[in-house]
Amino acid sequence: MTVTSTTMRLLPVRWLLLVLFLVVVTSLCMAVVVTGRTDNNGVVDNNRFIANNRLHQVYWKYLNDRRSKRSSASNSNSRLLLSLQPSRGDDGRLPGDVFIAVKTSGKFHRSRLDVVLDTWLPLVQKQTWLFTDTEDRDLSERAGGHVVDTKCPSDHSRSALCCKMAAELETFLATNNRWFCHVDDDNYLNVAALARTLKLYNADKEHYLGKASIPAPLEIMDRDALPTEKKISFWFATGGAGFCLSRPLAEKMAPLVTEGGFVNIGDKIRLPDDVTVGYINEVLLDTPLTHVREFHSHLEPLKTISPHSLKDQVTMSYSTYEDTGESNVVSIEGLSRETDPTRFLSLHCKLYPRSAKYCL
Ligand code: UDP
Ligand code: MN
């Protein structure tokens, strides 16, 4: 018997094992989901969304393991001295009319914001505002007074997060800035890359820019069509990767967002704030998400971003995998893991050498 025919015979067995693996993973996810997340009112959140998200993480982790095996040989390339500075002719400055909103919470004022305030934020301090839930004079001083106490609940529930996103949008609408960009407090914002990205789009037109973290549009039941089981599907930009809206689009959203509108829509679809932004734009306002690859959340395996391309990435993040305790961070040489667990200091030093005392 030839090798080829043996392989052919083994193929169905492989497929069977793969299908079995996926069924087990799906059931586990559903079990976690069904017993898991509830919002403030005790209503179970949209299971399909959360299952999608969990599956997505499993999927990325699987891909990541395979990629890292394949690329371990080529990883030595990352030891080459990298030229991460913005290319010539690009002053890397962000126009002053780009409003940056950072979502945070009292419990993260030190643990997450310290590194943000030590790296990218001072570059754009005048146009950046921190949206939090706890009064903190020390933070206000460190952030040049640019802190908004939203009075939203300080928890991770859907309604609390929607309340904060609504505050971000309403604050932006009260200014005359041309772009609204949201990031989380566990994001590094590459200011120069954001400037280059926004230049590609006409700020006078409606734009919704960001990165989806699920492989297909999200499908939910249309609650307006009940009792018929009509489904709607749409993309949304993951909040944890950051996203931007042009002013004309934000103005179009305004009637739906202000005076409690955003929170009400989040309540109606029972989904988190970033999904609510996607629903409003794609479903209600017919403005599709423009997928921008250079936004990154920690739902992705961040080490798969080539070190050579870090200068082009708009946002980055970090996290720790719950199951293994392994950290999910961008791959960059520089300061030790102990000094720089998020790798943001090292990244910042590569992008802006000599910018801070901690740079080698
Ligand atoms: N957050 C918040 N209140 C909370 C927990 C989180 O405002 O009780 C914010 C947090 O500061 C961050 C965003 O929500 O900007 C996402 O939170 P986190 O990174 O902890 O969770 P993720 O959704 O990324 O897993
Ligand atoms: Mn996060």
Indicate the angle between helix axes 247-257 and 158-173, nearest 10 degrees: 130
pLDDT value at residue 194: 98
* Shortest-distance ligand to the CA of residue 132: 1
pLDDT reported for residue 82: 40
For the segment 158-172, the average pLDDT, to the nearest whole number, is 97
Q: How many domains does the chain have?
A: 2
Is 25 a residue whose pLDDT tops 60? no
Q: Which atom of ligand 1 is nearest to the CA of 157?
A: 8
pLDDT at residue 5 tops 70: no
Question: Are residues 254 and 167 part of one domain?
Answer: yes
Residue 92 is predicted with a pLDDT of 81
Decide: 104 in ligand 1 pocket, CB within 6 A. Answer: yes
Per-residue confidence (pLDDT) for residue 21, from 0 to 100: 64
Minimum mean pLDDT among 18-22, 85-89, 150-154: which range? 85-89
Across all residues in the chain, what is the average pLDDT?
Answer: 84
> What percent of the chain clears pLDDT 90, i.e. is strictly above it?
71
Q: pLDDT digits over 191-239, tens only?
A: 999 999 999 999 999 999 999 999 999 999 988 888 888 999 999 999 9
CA count, 13 A, side-chain hemisphere, 14: 6
Same domain? For 177 and 274 the reply is yes
Q: Are residues 195 and 288 in the same domain?
A: yes
**Residue 215 domain boundaries:** 98-351
Q: Which atom of ligand 1 is nearest to 185's Cα? A: 15
Catalytic, 133? Answer no
* Domain assignment present for 360: no
C-beta 267 within 6 A of ligand 1:
no
Q: Is residue 1 part of a domain?
A: no
Q: For residue 78, name the pLDDT band (cuts at 50, 70, 90).
A: very low
Beta carbon of 240 within 6 Å of any ligand 1 atom: yes
Integer Cα distance of 38 and 124 in angstroms: 37
What is the per-residue pLDDT for 22? Answer: 60
276 lies in the same domain as 164: yes
Same domain, 192 and 266: yes
pLDDT, residue 59, reads: 46
- Which stretches of the chain are DSSP H helices? 3-35, 47-71, 113-118, 137-142, 158-173, 191-199, 247-257, 261-269, 273-278, 344-351
Between 310 and 88, where is the model more confident? 310
Does a structural domain hold residue 90?
no
- Cβ–ligand 1 contact at 105 (below 6 Å): yes
* Domain end among 81, 106, 129: 81
- Both 77 and 102 in one domain: the answer is no
Q: How far is the CA of 299 from the centre of ligand 2 (A)?
A: 8
Task: Please say if the pLDDT value at position 160 is more than 50.
Answer: yes
Neighbours of 349 (CB within 10 A): 21
- Regarding whether 222 and 318 lie in a shared domain, the answer is yes
**Residue-wise pLDDT tens digits, 47-58:** 444 444 544 454
- Is position 330 within any domain? yes
How wide is the angle at C-alpha 61 spanned by C-alphas 277 and 193, nearest 5°? Answer: 50
Q: What is the CATH number of the domain that holds 261?
A: 3.90.550.50
Provide the 8-state DSSP code for 226.
T
Query: Which structure tokens are listed for 30?
Result: 């559903």
Question: Phi, psi at residue 305, to the nearest 5°?
Answer: -75, 125
Q: How far apart are the CA of 156 and the centre of ligand 2, in A?
A: 11
In a domain, 359, yes or no: no
144, 214: one domain: yes
| Confidence tier at 17 by pLDDT (50, 70, 90) | low
Ligand 1 centroid vs 343 CA: distance in angstroms? 19
Among 38, 56, 81, the domain-final residue is 81
Q: In this structure, are 30 and 151 located in the same domain?
A: no
Whether 55 is covered by a domain: the verdict is yes
Query: Do residues 142 and 255 share a domain?
Result: yes
Question: How far, in Å, is the centroid of ligand 1 from the Cα of 105?
Answer: 7
- Higher pLDDT: 7 or 146? It is 146
Contacts of 319 (CB under 8 A, 6+ apart): 186, 298, 327, 328
**Nearby residues for ligand 2 (ion, Cβ within 5 Å):** 186, 240
Q: What pLDDT is stored for residue 97 in this prediction?
A: 98
**Neighbour tally for 165: CB within 10 Å:** 26
On whether both 323 and 192 belong to a single domain, the answer is yes
| Boundary (domain end) residue, out of 54, 81, 108 | 81
Between residues 72 and 296, the one the model is more confident about: 296
**Catalytic position from the list 133, 185, 273, 274:** 274
